[in-house]
């Protein structure tokens, strides 16, 4: 990785961008003059370039960073603060890995065709715990590029939604609560950051808390109750939330009624979990290479021969609906 130029503010960054034509831009969320979000939008208008945001670990930083990711930024890194034990070496390694991934990212339009619902879907009642879990459950895993992709996929799901949706997006703590609000605002579906011990209700989107694993457990036999489990275990899996862990647990609870989706992202998280879904008789969907910011995660699953459907991100919501219809017919 070679640094070809630096800029102290947004205006200078735009001038350097046009003069130097870098492969990747790292952009601070907070800058003097034109802020990071305005600078990002100007970059996408004048010379679309993979952008990696640099954010503070604060609620305000999370909000702006997520807005940036929804507007075309490829990924982000967080600045260490007094409450976070991250060495400069670890930060350097993360930054280099994400810059290299961003350099290989395919550029997409700034605003994908997200269909935002004018009226929010009615929230299922909070007071009633279902006596029996829904026949089907949908689990979605994503990493780099997932903020945009998840909005597109969830925004195109058929409504009313009669199954729960479980989401594992690779994201640090302090960001996922804001991410759940973003998903609700942009798709109209009720969404929330998952809480340990919470009963699973159909129609809700549950987002794994950043830095922790999300799994689903069933209690009882026959007419059972499904609940969420949020934990740091197993500690051996350092990637949290783990898509594999989520998929494996959903497959145990919903069996052949599982629909699992692997979206854009670095690495291969989700491949082993998708194998568990297939072994349980569930359906596996993957985002295609042409619409993935990084084809690592879906590409790994496709190469392993696990995908029943490989589709562009704009069609995956419809494909999930078709899968759920097929499973519903199989159970009737």
Instruction: Please name the residues in contact with 89: beta carbons below 8 A apart, sequence gap of 6 or more.
Output: none
Instruction: Please name the residues in contact with 260: beta carbons below 8 A apart, sequence gap of 6 or more.
Output: 138, 139, 140, 141, 247, 250, 251, 270, 273, 274, 277, 282, 283, 284, 285
Catalytically annotated residue among 170, 174, 242, 300: 170
Distance, CA of 279 to CA of 8 (rounded, Å): 53
CA distances (Å), 239 to each of 138, 142, 286, in order? Answer: 21, 12, 20
Distance, CA of 265 to CA of 290 (rounded, Å): 13
Is 269 labeled as catalytic in the residue annotation? yes
Catalytically annotated residue among 28, 75, 269, 272: 269
Catalytically annotated residue among 55, 143, 242, 292: 143
Is 170 labeled as catalytic in the residue annotation? yes
Q: Are 103 and 23 in contact (CB under 8 A)?
A: yes
Token pair, residue 185, equals 């605002």
Token pair, residue 162, equals 């009669």
Catalytic machinery residues = 143, 170, 269
């Amino acid at each position: 990785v070679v640094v070809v130029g630096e800029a102290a503010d947004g205006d200078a960054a735009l001038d350097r961008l046009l003069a130097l034509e870098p492969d990747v831009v790292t952009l601070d969320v907070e800058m003097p003059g034109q802020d990071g979000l305005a600078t990002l939008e100007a970059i996408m208008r004048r010379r679309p370039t993979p952008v990696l945001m640099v954010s503070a670990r604060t609620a305000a930083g999370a909000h702006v960073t997520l807005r940036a990711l929804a507007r075309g930024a490829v990924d982000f890194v967080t600045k260490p603060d007094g409450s976070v034990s991250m060495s400069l070496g670890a930060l350097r390694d993360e930054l280099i890995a994400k810059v290299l991934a961003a350099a290989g990212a395919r550029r997409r339009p700034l605003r994908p065709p997200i269909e935002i619902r004018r009226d929010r879907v009615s929230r299922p009642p909070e007071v009633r715990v279902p006596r029996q879990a829904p026949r089907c459950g949908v689990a979605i895993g994503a990493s780099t590029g997932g903020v945009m992709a998840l909005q597109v996929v969830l925004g195109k799901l058929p409504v009313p939604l009669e199954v729960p949706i479980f989401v594992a997006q690779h994201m640090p703590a302090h960001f996922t609560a804001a991410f759940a609000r973003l998903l609700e605002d942009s798709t109209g579906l009720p969404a929330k950051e998952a809480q340990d011990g919470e009963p699973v209700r159909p129609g809700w989107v549950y987002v794994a808390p950043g830095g922790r694993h999300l799994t689903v457990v069933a209690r009882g036999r026959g007419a059972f109750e499904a609940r969420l489990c949020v934990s740091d275990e197993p500690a051996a899996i350092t990637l949290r939330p783990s898509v594999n862990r989520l998929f494996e647990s959903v497959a145990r609870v919903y069996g052949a009624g599982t629909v699992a989706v692997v979206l854009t992202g670095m690495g291969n998280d989700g491949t082993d979990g998708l194998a568990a879904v297939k072994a349980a008789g569930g359906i596996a969907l993957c985002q295609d290479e042409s619409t993935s910011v990084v084809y690592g995660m879906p590409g790994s699953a496709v190469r392993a021969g696990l995908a029943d459907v490989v589709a562009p991100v704009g069609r995956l919501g419809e494909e999930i609906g078709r899968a759920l219809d097929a499973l519903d017919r199989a159970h009737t």
